[in-house]
Chains A and B, each alone.
Chain A
């Protein structure tokens, strides 16, 4: 799974995080190191879609939170992925 938008949504699923925290989190759970351009490209797209929102902060490290529609989108995507994973594993076993 290397879609940065999905990785960002997954990272924000357990609570709000700023950019650097998201980078570290994604590297930990997915083993993918996102560059700042890729990360903020994904944040921009997600924010425009209304799937995440910036949280007011006085710090330059602005946190982001997942919105209910973002949560729904993530669930939908993960369910699709789960189906793919399940099918793939099952076919590997019977091959």
Chain B
């Protein structure tokens, strides 16, 4: 314990240690040290660090420097303007048998529309619109621009105002962009996309009703992943340094909708699609050449089990008459990952037509979309929050000042002793 007590004395400023550590050593030799002694030394050491005069000076100086740097940094950041429009969705037929506490058809309808509007195809169309040409100077691929645009869009389901009729609700369409006119035009384009998707959806519903069967629609086609999903985090990047131990995995995903279906039906379809026969055909497909290395050393059954572990089928949302779900596949080759997801999508559609082609669907509630508030033309930038950034810089400076002050005092050579000289 005496050794620990001596070690704890490192918490004291170097000047203090140069002056008093011999005496405290002698005292510890006389009294001995226990846990209480160590705690007492530690508490007094920390208190001494914070009560010395240079600590607040340094903290204030670095705090001010952080404030200035934070302010300067925030000025360098490009301004972002946010445009907002409010839309209203109204169900044309309200199913009174469904309790709102359990199932809110409006939320379901908006979610479905949002998924379709934020699909790669729709956003890519808006990005490439010659009037907009969004993100054109960023030097990134279309897929990257789509992902960036998804981050810049917000769809906020707002509480329906009391003035709205029953079966109606409102949601905001928000978009942020460095050019305020383009921000406004993009929100207008998104509203148009909402209307188009809604009309297409209703037409498809009518035709599906005539056909009297459940059907799978691809809302978002299989993506071509740009970066390995297991390299996106810091831990992923670190594991990347270990090379072959943790090979890069790309995840491709598609979003499907089973109209006039239930989650149980999706489950049944998944069992069919991920059956041994189906996966075995995929693994043996000479165009895909999946798991070649594994097949050299492992039996086909085990490779199929491995493949099952790399396939993800996740339910996004279940409604009374349709279900949204994603199909994803992880593989070291991104092109093969996409091809497999495309093949799985085809298999889901085939399985659906084989398994659920006779049941008559219920009539689906239609919806009307209209605009409550047109896209605003922002006058002031919404981002960056310059004051917040400057304050964060100041706070960081103060923390840094405290740390530097402590480290500096721990390392000052004992020669610089400015405490009172010892008199006879």
Contact = CB atoms under 8 A, between A and B. Distances in A.
A62 B424 CA distance: 11
Interface in A18-38: 18-20, 23, 35-38
B44 A48 contact: no
A37 B45 contact: yes
Q: SS class of chain A's interface: helix, strand, loop or mixed?
A: helix
Contacts of B16: 44
Given A35-B36, A41-B47, A60-B22, A47 B28 contact: no
B41 A36 contact: yes
- Tier of interface size on chain B: 20 to 34
B235 interface: no
A37 B423 contact: no
A75 B47 CA distance: 28
A53 B26 CA distance: 18
B423 A36 contact: no
Contacts of A59: 26
Contacts of B26: 18-20, 59-61
- Tier of interface size on chain A: 20 to 34
Given A50-B420, A61-B27, A62-B22, 13 more contacts: A19-B23, A20-B27, A37-B37, A37-B40, A37-B42, A37-B45, A40-B27, A40-B44, A44-B16, A44-B419, A47-B419, A59-B26, A61-B26
12 contacts: A20-B26, A35-B39, A36-B41, A38-B40, A40-B20, A44-B16, A44-B48, A47-B420, A55-B423, A55-B424, A60-B22, A60-B26
Interface of B: 5, 16, 20, 22-28, 30-31, 36-37, 39-45, 47-48, 419-420, 422-424
